[in-house]
Chain A
């Protein structure tokens, strides 16, 4: 059971902290020009962050208590392949369909 006071202090602090993170560069730097070396690195933010979120969630899912399960790994690989070929909708459809199929078969 989560206590009310714990919940509200966490939610308010997390909301404020998250806004400050999001506003950090956009708010402070405004129209100032960023140096070229930084722009070069920023191009790779997306491809650098998403795998770090995907890999643990697929290999050690909290719903299974952190146990690795073959259907999820297979479904994730198929989702990546479908995403490369058919875009976001392909990734979602292939990922969930493959998970249900693999769970039914394995």
Chain B
């Protein structure tokens, strides 16, 4: 795929579908947080300072259960550890950008922008660092304002949303929507399968520790599968 002529606009456009999930996801956080007894200022501060929905839900649920602050903190940070892997995965693409841009990219790093941006970088490898950076911020120009705005809307609505709507299901559906377009080769499918199986096997581990273990196992599985396929292709080429 050729590099986009207007990278910022292309990022904005490619991320637009995720409006459909960011809206329920962030609204839901506002509602749930008010339900847990936070005031509107607290809800908004958390969304602006942390800007990582899954960990905010985790921290809130544990605090509400009466867990000590450091336990809630460790669990929420464990949920976010995946972003260290995103950070590393973005180095080949954004590593040469100015420090300020990298710091802003780090603050704005969420699952949606990561998944959409990396997919585009792989499709258009000729993109320059500046184009890649603008593309990334185009993605975030969709996600970030909606994240803030809908958290506020949810916090103001409070308990007006009935539980029968099962809006909490929007969270896994959001991750499924991010995952599906990435499943584009046999090694990718294999890695996803390994991750699912290991996650189920390690479900008993405390503090979400199963997540980093499953993710590492799946990354190794995907990489090894790719190497096996490459070797086989080379052998067939010789025959």
Contact = CB atoms under 8 A, between A and B. Distances in A.
Interface residues of A, number: 74
B64 A34 contact: no
B153 interface: no
Contact of A76 (B50, B55, B114, B172): B172
Given A22-B86, A23-B102, A11 B175 contact: no
B219 interface: yes
A46 B182 contact: yes
A24 B38 contact: no
Contacts of A41: 219-220, 222-223
A42 B89 contact: yes
B180 A83 contact: yes
Contact of A26 (B72, B102, B169, B183): B102
A29 B122 CA distance: 20
A69 B104 CA distance: 40
Contacts of A75: 169, 173
Interface in A24-56: 24-27, 29-34, 37-56
A104 B85 CA distance: 40
A99 B63 CA distance: 29
B91 A26 contact: yes
- Chain B interface helix/strand/loop/mixed: helix
Nearest to B82: A49
B34 to A, nearest CB: 11
B110 to A, nearest CB: 9
B195 A47 contact: yes
Given A21-B84, A30-B96, A45 B89 contact: yes
B54 interface: yes
Contacts, number: 287
Interface string A77-105: 00110111001110111011001100100
B38 A2 contact: yes
Contacts of B55: 14, 18
Contacts of A61: 168-169
B9 interface: no
A92 B199 contact: no
B163 to A, nearest CB: 7
A103 to B, nearest CB: 7
A92 B171 CA distance: 10
Interface string B70-94: 0011001100111111111111101
Contacts of A63: 163, 166, 168-169
Return the 5 tightest CB-CB contacts between A and B, nearest first. Answer: A83-B180, A44-B222, A48-B218, A15-B49, A95-B173
21 contacts: A2-B37, A22-B106, A23-B102, A25-B91, A26-B94, A26-B106, A27-B106, A32-B91, A44-B223, A48-B214, A49-B195, A50-B175, A51-B179, A52-B196, A58-B172, A63-B166, A63-B168, A79-B177, A88-B178, A88-B181, A92-B177
Given A14-B59, A44-B219, A53-B175, 19 more contacts: A7-B38, A22-B84, A25-B91, A26-B105, A30-B96, A30-B99, A45-B82, A46-B182, A47-B222, A48-B217, A49-B85, A51-B193, A51-B195, A62-B61, A87-B17, A88-B178, A92-B173, A92-B177, A99-B169
